[in-house]
Amino acid sequence: MIKMRVFIKFIAVIGLITMALSGETARGSSPGSGAGILDGMVFVGHVGPKGRDADGEDEVVFQNGQLLSTSCSAYGFESAPYTASRSGDSIIFSAVTHSPKHGQIKWQGTVVGNEIEASYRWTKERWYWFDANEEHWLRARLKQD
């Protein structure tokens, strides 16, 4: 598991360097504007807490330069701009979604062919209890119509 985490971080760093050098960044700037290299893709699959088995399903939608997790939208998390860059046969992406009541989720992942693997960290500062800081994973496939 640690090797996979190191590998994902390595890929993310390489993606950021490639993005900076090549200018192939795809970015949406606001809802309804912009376009991204993942736009039009919808992935359906499983999610779970880091290091544990799946405990749910999700549908992740890339549209108009925005990322939306349908399972997170039930908690008020709205779509947010994503950045993405090509690295060989992979597309590396990141985004930060926000909920007025439930904090933020930082996404980062890789799309290879019809599959996506991502990790996301949910954080929320609370005055009445421990702050939320949970890492989860997503493994999904491109939705077939």
Please report, in tens digits, the pLDDT of each residue of the chain (145 residues total). 455 444 444 444 344 334 443 444 444 333 334 579 999 999 999 999 999 999 999 999 999 999 999 999 999 999 999 999 999 999 999 999 999 999 999 999 999 999 999 999 989 887 787 788 899 999 999 998 7
Residue corresponding to tokens 């925005």: 66
- CA gap 26, 109 in Å, rounded: 15
> Identity (one letter) of the amino acid at 49?
P
Which residues constitute the domain of residue 30?
2-142
The 8-class DSSP code of residue 41 comes to: -
Residue 121 three-state SS: strand
- Could you tell me how far CA 99 lies from the centroid of its own chain? 15
**Count of the separate structural domains present in the chain:** 1
